[in-house]
């Protein structure tokens, strides 16, 4: 049987808003002309990613780039046009570009519907691709199902201290309100490990470092929450920093080292990699 392919023209006509919704990204605010999102390319607290609803085009003000639906998939997935077309063909949405109207902002808020032990085969496969054993993921995370605008989604969830969730699956990074840090306390611990995100936490635990045997762990969930870590860091004698080695991560590390004398930079563990999970996935043993 001949395979029916998705043409570039058809793919360009796919609604970017609909495509982002399927991937779990939802507008933070929206008017009749445009929708604003937290960038799908990085962690941020102020929406800098704009979608023109009339033109069906996107623009990321943080990176100064934009384009159509194909360009967006290529950027998110870091893939070729051919791979992007295959990916778009197998997602469930309509190949039209409607202007979505918000009759009520409350109706489009993300709503958690179920939290349970991780058992979904797609999420388990995703964890395997990230080299995270399922037993470690189950120790710290849950399978979280949620609804937005009548559609159901599921992700691996890490709960923060304010009862919000950081949500990850193979296609997107998302989160429910309220946003906050995650603090995993070990009773009587004098040591603290600081990481940026969910998969940094899981990667660090996988390594079974001696330091972690008696350490609490603080997950920032976003570099923008760095100052929330200050009072917590002061409560520990020794604080090991395992932040990303990109520009934002290096700046955050430098800020903590200069401000707190009890901190030490441990990112030398993965010097040639972006972060802990990148090291776990790509290192050669």
Mean pLDDT of all residues in 238-253: 92
Cβ atoms of residues 231 and 225 within 8 Å = no
For the chain, what percent of residues have pLDDT higher than 70?
Answer: 89
Mean pLDDT of all residues in 215-229: 92
Strands (E) in 72-150, as ranges, are 111-116, 142-148
Please give the pLDDT value at position 5: 63
Q: Where are the domains of the chain?
A: 8-104, 110-175, 182-282
Most confident of 6-15, 38-47, 104-113, 256-265: 256-265
Confidence of residue 54 (pLDDT cuts 50, 70, 90): confident
CATH number of 8-104: 3.90.580.10
Q: Is the pLDDT of residue 93 over 70?
A: no
Secondary structure class of 72 (helix, strand, coil): helix
Rg (CA), the chain: 20
Mean pLDDT of all residues in 180-201: 94
Instruction: Please name the residues in contact with 72: beta carbons below 8 A apart, sequence gap of 6 or more.
Output: 16, 19, 40, 58
Q: Is the pLDDT of residue 130 over 50?
A: yes
For the chain, what percent of residues have pLDDT higher than 90?
Answer: 49
Confidence of residue 98 (pLDDT cuts 50, 70, 90): very low
Can you give the three-state secondary structure of 67-126, one letter per residue?
Answer: ECHHHHHHHHHCCCHHHHHHHHHCCCCCCCCCCCCCCCHHHHCCEEEEEECCCCHHHHHH
Domain over 182-282 is classified CATH 3.40.1360.10: yes
Q: Which two tokens stand for residue 226?
A: 């760095």
Please give the pLDDT value at position 150: 67
Please give the pLDDT value at position 201: 96
Half-sphere exposure of 222 (CA within 13 A, CB side): 20
Please give the pLDDT value at position 143: 97
Fold equal for 8-104 and 182-282: no
Secondary structure class of 192 (helix, strand, coil): strand
> What is the overall mean pLDDT for the chain?
85
């Amino acid at each position: 049987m001949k395979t029916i392919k998705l043409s570039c023209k058809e793919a360009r006509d796919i609604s970017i808003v609909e495509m982002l919704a399927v991937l779990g990204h939802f507008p933070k605010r929206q008017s009749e002309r445009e929708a604003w999102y937290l960038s799908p390319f990085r962690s941020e607290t102020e929406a800098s990613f704009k979608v023109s609803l009339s033109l069906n085009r996107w623009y990321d003000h943080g990176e100064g780039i934009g384009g159509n639906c194909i360009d967006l998939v290529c950027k998110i997935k870091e893939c070729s046009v051919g791979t992007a077309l295959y990916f778009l063909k197998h997602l469930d949405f309509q190949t039209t570009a409607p202007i979505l109207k918000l009759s009520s902002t409350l109706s489009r808020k993300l709503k958690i519907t179920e939290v349970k032990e991780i058992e979904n085969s797609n999420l388990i496969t995703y964890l395997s691709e990230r080299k995270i054993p399922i037993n470690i993921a189950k120790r710290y995370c849950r399978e979280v199902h949620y609804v937005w605008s009548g559609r159901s989604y599921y992700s691996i969830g890490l709960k923060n201290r304010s009862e919000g969730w950081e949500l990850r699956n193979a296609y997107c990074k998302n989160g429910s309100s309220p946003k906050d840090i995650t603090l995993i306390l070990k009773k009587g611990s004098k040591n603290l490990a600081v990481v940026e995100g969910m998969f940094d936490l899981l990667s660090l635990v996988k390594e079974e470092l001696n330091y972690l045997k008696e350490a609490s762990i603080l997950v920032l969930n976003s570099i923008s929450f760095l100052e929330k870590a200050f009072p917590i860091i002061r409560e520990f004698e020794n604080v090991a920093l395992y932040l990303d080695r990109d520009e934002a991560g290096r700046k955050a590390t430098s800020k903590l080292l200069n401000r707190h004398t009890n901190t030490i930079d441990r990112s030398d563990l993965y010097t040639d990699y972006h972060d802990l999970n990148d090291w776990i996935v790509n290192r050669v043993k």
